[in-house]
């Protein structure tokens, strides 16, 4: 499987709905209070908590543990039609409900566990999304059997459309191109911080220094 070339036109930042921060224009940054109270230029969507801390500490940092990758696959799918801020506020509840995103444990969830999840007010109680998360855990284990790790598989892609098509072919759900793009941004496959954002340069430096 060859690496794909990302398209020139692409959306930056977590997916937006009416409850999300305004999507930044290309090259636009917002100045907000950073670590130690110093003002730093950020991507314009990171205007308030918890988005700001997530942006500064986590978004775009390369992730290679299968459990972390599975977490973001589930969370990005759950976000469809909602704001990323909503999902971040439910993240702790998701970790508890989904066995801290251990794919082997989630893959064993049956009808009883699905019913439990649909009653859990801490997560998005959408039947299709819940069932998809369980199915995706099983599909991830099949990928792991073939590639050794899900990390080795997913980091072989640089284009969200190619990743989306291959994931669907392998039985994954809620993995359309937009969700895959957000997933790739979140786990660091793509560094889509805005030009001028302090994290863009930091992550590039980390990559050059072998931060992966």
Q: What are phi and psi of 158, to 5 degrees?
A: -125, 0
153 is catalytic: no
113 is catalytic: no
Per-position DSSP letters for 116-172, written without gaps between them: HHHT-TTS---HHHHHHHHHHHHHHHHHHHHHSSHHHHHTT---HHHHHHHHHHTT-
Question: 45, 84, 94, 153: which one is catalytic?
Answer: 84
Q: CA distances (Å), 124 to each of 67, 72, 87, 119, 121, in order? A: 20, 15, 8, 10, 7
Bond before 2 cis per omega within 30 degrees = no
Distance CA 52, CA 58 (A): 10
Q: Which two tokens stand for residue 57?
A: 């500490």
SS3 33: strand
Question: 28, 47, 54, 202: which one is catalytic?
Answer: 54
54 is catalytic: yes
Residue pair 129/80 in contact (Cβ under 8 Å)? The answer is yes
Question: 59, 71, 76, 85: which one is catalytic?
Answer: 76
Q: What are phi and psi of 127, to 5 degrees?
A: -60, -45
With tokens 């997913």, the residue in question is 154
Which residues are annotated as catalytic? 54, 76, 84
């Amino acid at each position: 499987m060859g690496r794909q070339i990302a398209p020139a036109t692409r959306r930056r930042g977590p997916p937006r709905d009416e409850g999300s921060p305004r999507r930044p224009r290309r090259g636009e940054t917002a100045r907000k209070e950073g670590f130690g109270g110093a003002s730093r230029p950020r991507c314009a969507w990171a205007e308030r908590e918890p988005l700001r801390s997530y942006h500064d500490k986590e978004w775009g940092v390369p992730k290679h543990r299968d459990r972390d990758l599975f977490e973001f696959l589930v969370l990005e799918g759950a976000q469809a039609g909602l704001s990323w801020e909503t999902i971040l506020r439910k993240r702790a509840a998701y970790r508890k409900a989904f066995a801290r995103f251990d794919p082997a444990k989630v893959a064993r969830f049956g009808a009883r566990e699905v019913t439990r999840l649909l009653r859990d007010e801490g997560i998005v109680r959408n039947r299709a999304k819940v069932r998809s998360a369980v199915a995706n855990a099983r599909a991830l284990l099949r990928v792991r059997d073939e590639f050794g790790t899900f990390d080795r598989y997913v980091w072989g892609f640089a284009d969200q459309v190619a990743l989306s098509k291959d994931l669907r072919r392998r039985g994954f759900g809620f993995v359309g191109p937009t969700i895959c793009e957000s997933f790739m941004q979140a786990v660091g496959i793509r560094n889509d911080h805005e030009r001028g954002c302090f994290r863009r340069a930091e992550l590039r430096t980390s990559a050059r220094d072998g931060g992966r």
